[in-house]
């Protein structure tokens, strides 16, 4: 039940308390005004697991995975584990029929522990070590995406049987989307440039290496992209490059991996990538590019991370204190911060926050929610409307925190990282436990 159900007279005069585009699909408000996710009151999670805590809606994650498969029936959907990975998440990914993209030894180990078929794992990374490559080959990962000349040298010495590989190329596409991060341009660390024949030279070396089976090209043009057009452009450029390889070497590449970067809304009014529109643009680009080059349509692979994991996650914080400074600003300090959410300081990310333990009735105040860390930039949400009577002990929930938070958390100030708690159908279960002071001290050898 939402606030609007309880106060029907407000209907039409105010917006819903929790924007369904930002909060998990299973979010609700119970009769006490407590926010629920997966039919579990967030106050119960906070009481049982303490705060801060990452809450993950399993139904949300699985539903979005299914929607992707439905929107792109001809494509392989490979979830980018860097956005959020635990063994349970890996298991959901496998059960929903997705592949998994990993970029470190521990991500690979987590995927395998979660029961992901190695053949459905794609290994990424711009600085893979020889040991990482050896391990990936030994466990039988389905695809290795080659990102540097040194990797070709390592792989040449390691492969004893055919290993499918792709080349990561930079198609020189500059996305100017809102808050987007660009990785598709030439002047950055990833991939081989199409320009200057760097990618062509890598292809020639790989094709000349026994047991390196070049199956396709890969690109990842950036993050938080809401306009599907750049993906269409990427398809055109990569099909052109695949046609050039056919001409030069007589080899037909059959796989086109166009990465992830699909945008999601963090605050009201943010644009999101429409999966249907994306599918249509990419399909159209494949049809026209393949016709122009008389190229056989390759198997399409997409690698969304955030679009599957971000909205499944909510972070819970307990309010520690409220302070009004002489300058007029009100600071609401909570028991977490930049250690569990580095994205505000790192990317200037904006978030949506809500009071989770009671109805936010009465007058409101514009406040800044700050963390507990010794850094002035340790903010979670800037200038947000909160109830004027907010006080220590209240519970705040921050939406859209499933992606790049647990996976990017630190232990700054020796604050242990929060637990990850999954909710579904009225029940909660801990996927990752809280990091304790004993955990932190256990690495210190004195």
x-marked contacts with ligand LLP along 80-119 as a string, rule CB under 6 A: x-xx-----------------x------------------
- Measured from the CB atom, the residue of 163 and 223 that comes closer to ligand LLP is 223
Q: How far is the CB of 269 from ligand LLP (least distance, A)?
A: 19
Tell me the Ramachandran region of residue 19: left when phi exceeds 0, alpha when psi lies from -120 to 50, beta otherwise: beta
Which residues make Cβ contacts (< 8 Å) with residue 225, sequence separation at least 6? 175, 177, 180, 231, 261, 262, 263, 273
Nearest-angstrom CA–CA distance, 395 and 404: 22
Nearest-angstrom CA–CA distance, 115 and 104: 17
Nearest-angstrom CA–CA distance, 313 and 441: 29
Is 375 a known ligand-binding residue? yes
Q: How far is the CB of 347 from ligand LLP (least distance, A)?
A: 6
Binding segment for ligand LLP (CB under 6 A), chosen from 5-13, 77-85, 329-337, 382-390, is: 77-85
Is residue 223 within the footprint of ligand LLP (CB under 6 A)? yes
Backbone φ and ψ for 198, nearest 5 degrees, come out as -65, -45
Is residue 221 within the footprint of ligand LLP (CB under 6 A)? no
The continuous run of DSSP H or E covering 318 comes out as strand 313-324
Which of 347, 393, 427, 429 touches ligand LLP (CB under 6 A)? 347
Is 303 a known ligand-binding residue? yes
Which residues make Cβ contacts (< 8 Å) with residue 116, sequence separation at least 6? 90, 91, 93, 94, 99, 100
- Both tokens of 356, joined, read 């989770």
Nearest-angstrom CA–CA distance, 76 and 74: 7
Is residue 306 within the footprint of ligand LLP (CB under 6 A)? yes
CB 400 within 8 A of CB 358: no
Which residues make Cβ contacts (< 8 Å) with residue 363, sequence separation at least 6? 387, 388
Binding segment for ligand LLP (CB under 6 A), chosen from 257-265, 326-334, 365-373, 413-421, is: 257-265
Is 67 a known ligand-binding residue? no
Count of beta carbons in the 10 Å neighbourhood of residue 21: 15
Q: What is the dihedral of CA 131, 135, 193, 403, to 10 degrees?
A: -110
The residue count for binding ligand LLP (CB under 6 A) is 20
Is residue 337 within the footprint of ligand LLP (CB under 6 A)? no
Which of 171, 230, 265, 304 touches ligand LLP (CB under 6 A)? 304
- Measured from the CB atom, the residue of 128 and 343 that comes closer to ligand LLP is 343
Site residues for ligand LLP, 120-159, by CB under 6 A, read 124
CB 231 within 8 A of CB 194: no
Nearest Cα to Cα of residue 298 among 287, 309, 308, 307: 287
Is residue 189 within the footprint of ligand LLP (CB under 6 A)? no
Which of 132, 147, 151, 303 touches ligand LLP (CB under 6 A)? 303
Which of 68, 92, 154, 404 touches ligand LLP (CB under 6 A)? 404
Residue 119 gets which letter from DSSP?
G
Nearest-angstrom CA–CA distance, 424 and 412: 31
x-marked contacts with ligand LLP along 259-278 as a string, rule CB under 6 A: xxxx----------------
Handedness of CA 221, 227, 233, 239 (dihedral sign): positive
Site residues for ligand LLP, 17-76, by CB under 6 A, read none
Binding segment for ligand LLP (CB under 6 A), chosen from 41-49, 86-94, 150-158, 298-306, is: 298-306
User: How far is C-alpha 297 from the geometric centre of its chain's CA atoms?
Assistant: 28
Is 305 a known ligand-binding residue? yes
Binding segment for ligand LLP (CB under 6 A), chosen from 92-100, 247-255, 300-308, 418-426, is: 300-308
Nearest-angstrom CA–CA distance, 433 and 446: 25
Residue 436 gets which letter from DSSP?
P
Out of 130, 290, 374, 400, pick the active-site residue.
374
Check if 374 is active-site: yes
Which of 34, 120, 220, 311 touches ligand LLP (CB under 6 A)? 220
Catalytic residues, by residue number, are 374
- Binding residues for ligand LLP (CB under 6 A): 80, 82-83, 101, 124, 220, 223, 259-262, 303-307, 343, 347, 403-404
Binding residue ranges for pyridoxal 5'-phosphate: 261, 303-306, 404
Binding residue ranges: 261, 303-306, 343, 375, 404
Binding residue ranges for substrate: 306, 343, 375, 404
């Amino acid at each position: 039940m939402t606030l609007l159900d309880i106060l029907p007279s407000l209907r039409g005069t105010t917006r819903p308390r929790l924007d369904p585009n930002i909060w998990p699909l299973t979010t609700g408000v119970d009769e006490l005004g407590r926010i629920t996710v997966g039919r579990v009151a967030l106050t119960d999670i906070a009481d049982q697991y303490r705060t801060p805590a990452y809450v993950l809606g399993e139904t949300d994650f699985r539903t979005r995975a299914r929607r992707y498969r439905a929107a792109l029936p001809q494509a392989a959907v490979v979830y980018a584990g860097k956005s959020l990975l635990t063994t349970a998440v890996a298991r959901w990914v496998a059960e929903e029929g997705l592949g998994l993209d990993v970029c470190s030894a521990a991500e690979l180990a987590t995927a395998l522990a979660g029961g992901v078929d190695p053949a459905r794992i794609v290994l990424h990374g711009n600085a893979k070590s020889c040991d990482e490559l050896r391990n990936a080959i030994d466990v039988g990962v389905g695809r290795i995406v080659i990102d540097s000349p040194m990797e070709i040298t390592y792989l040449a010495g390691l492969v004893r049987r055919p290993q499918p590989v792709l080349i990561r190329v930079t198609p020189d596409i500059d996305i100017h989307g809102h808050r987007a991060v660009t990785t598709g341009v030439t002047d950055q660390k990833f991939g081989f440039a199409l320009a200057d024949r760097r990618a062509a030279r890598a292809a020639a070396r790989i094709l000349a290496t026994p047991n390196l089976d070049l199956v396709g090209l890969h690109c990842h043009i950036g993050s938080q992209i809401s306009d599907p057009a750049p993906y269409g452009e990427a398809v055109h450029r990569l099909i052109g490059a695949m046609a050039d390889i056919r001409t030069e070497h007589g080899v037909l590449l059959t796989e086109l991996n166009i990465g992830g970067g699909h945008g999601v809304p963090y605050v009201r009014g943010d644009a999101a990538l429409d999966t249907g529109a994306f599918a249509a643009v990419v399909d159209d680009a494949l049809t026209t590019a393949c016709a122009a080059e008389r190229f056989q349509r390759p198997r399409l692979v997409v690698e969304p991370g955030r679009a599957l994991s971000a909205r499944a996650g909510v972070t819970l914080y307990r309010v520690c204190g409220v302070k009004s400074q002489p300058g007029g600003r009100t600071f609401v300090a909570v028991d977490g911060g930049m250690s569990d959410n580095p994205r505000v300081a790192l990317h200037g990310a904006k978030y949506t926050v809500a009071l989770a333990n009671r109805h936010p009735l009465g007058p409101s105040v514009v406040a800044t929610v700050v963390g507990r860390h010794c850094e002035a930039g340790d903010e979670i949400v800037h200038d947000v409307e909160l109830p004027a009577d907010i006080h220590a002990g209240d519970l705040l929930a921050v939406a859209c925190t499933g992606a790049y938070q647990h996976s990017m958390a630190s232990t700054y100030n020796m604050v242990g990282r929060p637990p990850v708690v999954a909710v579904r159908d009225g029940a909660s279960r801990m996927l990752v436990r809280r990091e304790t002071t004993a955990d932190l001290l256990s690495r210190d050898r004195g």
